[in-house]
Structure 1
Amino acid sequence: MTGSPDEALIVNGVPWFDTDGRPVNAHGACIVEEGGAYYLFGEYRSDDFNAFIGFSCYSSTDLVTWKFERIVLPQQPGGLLGPDRLGERVKVMRCPSTGRFMMYMHTDDRTHTDAWIGLASCDSIAGEYTFHGALPFEGAPLPGWDMGTFQDADGTGYLLLHEGDVFRLSDDYTHAEEKVVSGVAEGGESPAMLTHDGTYFLLFSNKTSWERNDNYYLSAPAITGPWTSRGLLAPAGSLTFNSQCTFVLDLRLDGAVVHLYMGDRWSFPRQGSAATYVWQPLTVDGDTLTLGSYLPSWSPRTGAPADLAGRAAPLAFRSNRAGNAAEAVFTGHRVAVVGDSDERGGYGRVEILDGERGQVLHSLLVDFYSKAPDHGLRYVSPPLPAGRKVVRVTATGTYPEWFDKARHRYGALDAFVTTTEVIDLG
């Protein structure tokens, strides 16, 4: 199926741009539906350092066109979210009993040795949230790092933690009231939950630092269990289509509920510009949950796969030498770049130039690395002025690389940038 030029499609694994043309910067995210709009909350990341800047909020009516609202919780003067601290995995729920919007997050120091679950709140969904410190449990601050949240149909709120612990929140969502599940996913992180026809599902990734891995899930007839391991979400070796789960959103399409898997493609250290997103419909059959076949692009209006419509032209380029570049001419308002990512891929810079004056209209760093090889869309531009333009792809000679706390190395083995074609999207 080919989408019409004006059809709003979710395009996976490429940078997304907000209505101001800036990258959508909201990682480890969640979505809250409120007042006929979707609100995306996430970590506002930097390319320069791994520390808490703030949590961002974007709004959309179609899950594709995102408007930046504000940094809803900025760095604090001190304390758990003060300078040189971490703030991750932000999740927001509207408390039914109070009407307030409650925010939860992992707070830590930069050595990951001072981990606590934090709490903030606000009267309006996109206002500036007030940070309250650590979430209490049994009169003491609750420790924890990777976390998620889940709101059941009756309004009960739950906090999901690494290793498979689940806490029921108080009626006003201000503290954890009861630990209802303990340790059902040893070694699991980045938890997410959904329910379908009376069955509950818990999603986790394995611990591989910023690297992607084969995420897995469990199911149970009730949140309290018993929980049964069910296997992988996606085909083995696909590394969950090169992503890590962060949240599941219930979409209502033609009277039916479609569960939307939301995942991150981290890109350390260039998280602010080069990290991307993988959002895919989940398929549920009894106690089986799967991502099925990977959808490079699809319509959130229908839930069906749809290709970007345009005219393709070759752009055969492969180089790991800094400064080597390839160009192609196009005339449409948007352009896409198709290429390969693999273990030897690095960072490339994609630039859009005015075809007459040579002025740079847009420039972004793009990640061509993935541990599981992939051929497909690497970049789709924001809307551009009319007229003749040039898309230029340049090898930077740099690549993603990082080390975990045990000094194990992760990341690319080289700095190749590989493209095969461009698509003039008209």
Structure 2
Amino acid sequence: MGVVRNGVPWFDQYHKPVNAKAGCLVQANDHYYLFGEYKTNDENKFIGFSRYVSTDLEHWQYTGLALGPQSSGLLGPNRIGERVKVLAAPAGGYVMLMHTDDLGYTDPHVGLATSPTIDGTFEFQGPPLFNGEPIHMWDLGTFVDDDGTAYLLTHEGNIYQLAPDYRSVVALIVRDIAPREESPAMFRQGNRYFLLTSHKTSWERNDNVYYTAVSLAGPWEKQGVFCPAGTLTYNSQCSFVFMLPTEYGTVPMYLGDRWSFPKQADAATQVWLPITVSGDTITIPEYWEEWENSTVKPVTSSAAATPVAFASATPAEELTIPFTGRRLALGGITNRHSGYARVVLTNERDQPFQDSYVDFYNKVPSTGLRYMAPELVAGCYTLHIIVAGTHGVWQDKAGHIFGSDGDLVQVTGYQIDA
């Protein structure tokens, strides 16, 4: 196994940020497959659903788009594709479910694609039908019970049962468990079901909550938050729960998105943390910047060795850190006054080979790991941290304004891996 690093960009074999938002994790063929929304830094239309593969949850290989835009239809030009989830069908092959929509989010459909293998190109099949009709819902998740029965979860807390081949919907089990909530994720521990949801605050994070029941049909009971109140779920939004094999047995692992509008491709990151279960109670009591996923134990932060005092909101102002080694970790301060930094790695000939954005915004102030360079061949490099002079500001459908009020970039220290 490997080390999971939260809230920092992960990099693939091409030194590009892992670009898989609001997705899911599937274990197959002794590998982990990460599917997600493939985003850009300048528009929100459907580019494709990405696929990455790993043997240790630390090192990721990009294998291309599992499903790309279609020439027409629900995933055609100027459409939205979101919340991708992939299931291994009992009779063989894989089924992909997703939210499709127009750019104004006024034409929601659940969509379906299939592939005979997990590493093949999926073929879009259109909407899965329920009583002969499409399902007009948006945020969605999936859950597979111990007996292999699969379920589609939607915003507001609806649970639909899928057919045995997972390609259509055969029943609405329960509805409106979680009114005015979205981004559903579910798992089972013993005889209890746990449903995680997020409040509707657009790209902004909030204190996610959870519900419990001993039957999917209910009754469901709202239990409250599962991360400490006020942390905004460690600055993330729930997306999926993966049952992680560890040295101590299977542990439910929370997969959350740390959105970064508008620079979602580079600066949006992942928060993956183990969930503690005790009866009807689930908790993620601490935020671990880095943790070893086979022992389920935190490791010491990588960004505290050499202190640096850099704070600037001046566009193009730059902090330069030459280093000799294999990798550099960067620490910094995030708060609601902060914006984007452009982070560029150059080699000993001052040629750039990794160039992306890091988001220093956080509604809840924090100090910690902000960037971890890709693992390199030992040599001489320079890290350039450049104030971008931009920050994210957006609004939800009700017109509420969210985001930063400034462009500040604050660096506190770094550590070199020799």
What is the TM-score of this pair, normalised by structure 2?
Answer: 0.98
Work out whether residues 14 and 277 of structure 1, in 8 Å CA contact, stay in contact via their aligned partners in 2. Answer: yes
Corresponding position of 1:375: 367
Work out whether residues 269 and 400 of structure 1, in 8 Å CA contact, stay in contact via their aligned partners in 2. Answer: yes
Q: Mean Cα displacement is larger for which, 180-189 or 381-390?
A: 381-390
Corresponding position of 1:396: 388
**5+ long unaligned stretches in structure 1:** 1-6
- The whole-number CA distance in structure 2 between the counterparts of 1:54 and 1:360 is 27
Work out whether residues 240 and 256 of structure 2, in 8 Å CA contact, stay in contact via their aligned partners in 1. Answer: yes
- What is the SS of the residue equivalent to 1:113? coil
- The whole-number CA distance in structure 1 between the counterparts of 2:248 and 2:409 is 44
1:310, distance to aligned residue in structure 2 (A): 7.9
- The whole-number CA distance in structure 2 between the counterparts of 1:311 and 1:55 is 36
Work out whether residues 218 and 228 of structure 1, in 8 Å CA contact, stay in contact via their aligned partners in 2. Answer: yes
- The whole-number CA distance in structure 1 between the counterparts of 2:318 and 2:302 is 26
1:220 to 213, 230, 239: 213
Q: Which amino acid aligns with 2:298?
A: P
Does residue 57 of structure 2 align to residue 91 of structure 1? no
Q: Which amino acid aligns with 1:53?
A: I
Corresponding position of 1:74: 68
- The whole-number CA distance in structure 1 between the counterparts of 2:25 and 2:103 is 27
- What is the SS of the residue equivalent to 1:316? strand
- The whole-number CA distance in structure 1 between the counterparts of 2:378 and 2:304 is 16
CA spacing shift, 1:391–1:158, aligned 2, 3 Å: same
2:59 to 61, 65, 72: 65
Corresponding position of 2:24: 30
Does residue 378 of structure 2 align to residue 407 of structure 1? no
Does residue 22 of structure 2 align to residue 21 of structure 1? no
1:343, distance to aligned residue in structure 2 (A): 0.3
Corresponding position of 2:297: 304
Give per-residue Cα distances to partners, 1:162-187, cap 9 Å, x unaligned: 00000011111111110101101001
Work out whether residues 10 and 300 of structure 1, in 8 Å CA contact, stay in contact via their aligned partners in 2. Answer: yes
Alignment of 1:103-142 (within 5 A): 103-142=96-135
Corresponding position of 1:4: none
1:419 to 401, 411, 414: 411
Q: Which amino acid aligns with 2:64?
A: R
1:145, distance to aligned residue in structure 2 (A): 0.1
Give per-residue Cα distances to partners, 1:287-317, cap 9 Å, x unaligned: 0011111111001121111125688222211
Corresponding position of 1:318: 311
- The whole-number CA distance in structure 1 between the counterparts of 2:70 and 2:381 is 43
Does residue 229 of structure 2 align to residue 256 of structure 1? no
**5+ long unaligned stretches in structure 2:** none
2:47 to 32, 35, 53: 53
- The whole-number CA distance in structure 2 between the counterparts of 1:94 and 1:353 is 42
1:389, distance to aligned residue in structure 2 (A): 2.1
- The whole-number CA distance in structure 1 between the counterparts of 2:158 and 2:353 is 48
Corresponding position of 1:42: 36
1:330, distance to aligned residue in structure 2 (A): 1.6
- What is the SS of the residue equivalent to 1:120? strand
- What is the SS of the residue equivalent to 2:305? strand
1:255, distance to aligned residue in structure 2 (A): 4.9
What is the TM-score of this pair, normalised by structure 1?
Answer: 0.96
Query: Following TM superposition, where does structure 1 have runs of at least 4 consecutive aligned residues deviating by more than 6 angstroms?
Result: none
- What is the SS of the residue equivalent to 1:137? coil
- The whole-number CA distance in structure 2 between the counterparts of 1:255 and 1:377 is 28
Q: Which amino acid aligns with 1:360?
A: P
1:105, distance to aligned residue in structure 2 (A): 0.3
Alignment of 1:137-152 (within 5 A): 137-152=130-145
Q: Root-mean-square deviation (CA), in Å? A: 1.3
Q: Which amino acid aligns with 1:261?
A: Y
Alignment of 1:352-371 (within 5 A): 352-354=345-347, 356-371=348-363
1:183 to 161, 176, 180: 176
Work out whether residues 315 and 327 of structure 1, in 8 Å CA contact, stay in contact via their aligned partners in 2. Answer: no
- The whole-number CA distance in structure 1 between the counterparts of 2:227 and 2:25 is 22
